[in-house]
């Protein structure tokens, strides 16, 4: 998996951020700096660290390898998996051989740069494979803690997306980022975006006015995407904006594209829907009658039978028929646009599109053109905990009991 010059520059910026945070001794765990001091006082050793994850990941190791090369340039890094490879839990990712004093000092930093991008890559891989026909936009930035996390997460999304394309040539995968900072990871020169709710609010709650302001101020924008849930009139506002775009402004003739973004609040149903109507819409789409029969078709009968407590079934029902951005509202909006003659209008789905929601949407054939999501981020930080153990001291194999599998 090769990197362009622009992509490489972003990863170099990651190292610059680490440098700017202050001395290594201030950033690493104290027991590692204490170890480095003891080893320096009593004789350095050549050691080999083995790095692994406790869960399945997709290898996104370039950040950690660059960090090691920067801080301990004479260390030798050996990869056991290729970038973008699906890696089972407790499978050795890399070995790092070099000075125990120098490597001990950076152990905290190298672990920080290992787990997060690998888990993000795994989630992006699953999401892109689940809905191969949709493009994905990285919208995680506002959920991050700053540029360092943004770079690690976006790099993971890039790797996972490319791995998904390698597994299935029909996968569109990630095509852009909401940030200029990370846009080059997805082959873009700058960030992309629709409009936030704040802009609709600024326009008095009128999404059409907000779209017109967008067009007037940013005439270079190639697409206009209306965020249609602000007043709870998803369908009426979608059609109103489409009427202006196609019939009044005729911007399709100027080579621009139109779309709507569905981001309905999870506390209510979208316009024209309730639970029963949502079941009917999805049932007609899948040509199945009854909510449990629909769930069974989406999941497969064996899955339903294995979930007597209904925990999984209830979550699937919420994704298919529930409040917020359900499959039902996506179908409902698509059918309304098509009936009005706007079959070229695109639909962007956002709000909680994590791997599981993408898998359900994909299995049901959701008519999505794009997914805007930051939900490829690890669901819990414990998922990202990478581990490094020394397995050789001056050529002698030695590791703590229970980690012999690393030898």
Q: How confident is the model at residue 46 (pLDDT cuts 50, 70, 90)?
A: very high
What is the value of pTM for the model shown? 0.94
Write the pLDDT tens digit of every residue in 123-170. Answer: 999 999 999 999 999 999 999 999 999 999 999 999 999 999 999 999
Judged against a pLDDT cut of 80, whether residue 112 lies above it is answered with: yes
Judged against a pLDDT cut of 70, whether residue 175 lies above it is answered with: yes
Residue-wise DSSP of 197-226: HHHHHHTTT-HHHHHHHHHHH-TT-SEEEE
**Cα–Cα distance for residue pair 402/246, rounded to 1 Å:** 66
Q: Which of 270-279, 305-314, 340-349 has the lowest mean pLDDT?
A: 305-314
Judged against a pLDDT cut of 90, whether residue 373 lies above it is answered with: yes
Helices and strands per DSSP (H, E), number in the chain: 16, 13
In the predicted model, what is the mean pLDDT of residues 259-274? 97
- pLDDT value at residue 2: 85
Q: How far apart are the first and last CA of the chain?
A: 28
CATH class of 193-376: alpha beta
Which stretches does DSSP call E strand in 223-311? 223-227, 257-262
Judged against a pLDDT cut of 90, whether residue 269 lies above it is answered with: yes
**Cα–Cα distance for residue pair 216/235, rounded to 1 Å:** 24
**Domains of the chain, residue spans:** 5-119+382-406, 193-376
- pLDDT value at residue 314: 87
Task: Count the alpha carbons within 13 Å of 116 in the hemisphere toward its beta carbon.
Answer: 19
In the predicted model, what is the mean pLDDT of residues 70-85? 98
CB 46 within 8 A of CB 74: no
Task: Report the share of the chain in percent with pLDDT over 70.
Answer: 98
Superfamily of chain region 5-119+382-406: Quinolinate phosphoribosyl transferase, N-terminal domain (3.90.1170.20)
- pLDDT value at residue 311: 75
- pLDDT value at residue 304: 64
């Amino acid at each position: 998996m090769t990197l362009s010059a622009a992509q490489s520059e972003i990863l170099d910026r990651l190292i610059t951020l680490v440098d700017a945070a202050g001395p290594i001794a201030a950033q690493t765990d104290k027991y590692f700096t204490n170890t480095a001091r003891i080893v320096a006082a009593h004789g350095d050793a050549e050691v080999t660290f083995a790095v692994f994850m406790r869960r399945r990941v997709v290898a996104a190791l370039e950040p950690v390898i660059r960090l090691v090369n920067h801080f301990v340039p004479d260390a030798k890094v050996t990869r056991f998996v290729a970038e973008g490879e699906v890696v089972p839990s407790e499978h050795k990712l890399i070995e790092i051989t070099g000075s125990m004093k120098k490597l001990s000092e950076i152990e905290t930093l190298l672990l920080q740069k290992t787990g997060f991008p690998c888990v993000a890559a795994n989630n992006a891989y699953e999401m892109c494979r689940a809905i191969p026909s949709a493009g994905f936009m990285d919208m995680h930035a506002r959920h991050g803690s700053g540029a360092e996390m943004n770079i690690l997460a976006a790099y993971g999304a890039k790797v996972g997306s490319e791995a998904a394309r390698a597994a299935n040539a029909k996968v569109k995968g990630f095509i852009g980022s909401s940030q200029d900072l990370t846009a080059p990871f997805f082959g873009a020169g700058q960030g992309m975006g629709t409009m936030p709710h704040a802009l609709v609010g600024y326009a008095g709650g009128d999404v059409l006015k907000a779209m017109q302001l967008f067009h007037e101020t940013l005439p270079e924008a190639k697409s206009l995407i209306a965020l249609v849930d602000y007043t709870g009139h998803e369908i009426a506002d979608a059609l109103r904006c489409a009427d202006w775009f196609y019939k009044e402004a005729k911007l399709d003739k100027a080579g621009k594209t139109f779309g709507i973004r569905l981001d309905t609040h999870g506390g209510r149903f979208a316009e024209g829907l309730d639970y029963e109507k949502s079941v009917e819409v999805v049932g007609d789409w899948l040509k199945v009658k009854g909510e449990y029969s629909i769930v069974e078709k989406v999941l497969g009968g064996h899955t339903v039978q294995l979930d007597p407590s209904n925990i999984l079934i209830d979550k699937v029902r919420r994704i298919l028929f529930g409040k917020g951005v359900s499959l039902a509202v996506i179908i409902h909006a698509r059918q309304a646009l098509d009936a009005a003659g706007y079959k070229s209008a695109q639909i962007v789905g956002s709000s909680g599109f994590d791997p599981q929601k993408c898998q359900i949407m994909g299995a049901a054939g959701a008519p999505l053109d794009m997914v805007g999501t930051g939900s490829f981020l690890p669901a819990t930080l414990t998922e990202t905990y990478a581990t490094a153990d020394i397995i050789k001291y001056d050529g002698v194999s030695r590791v703590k009991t229970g980690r012999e599998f690393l030898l």
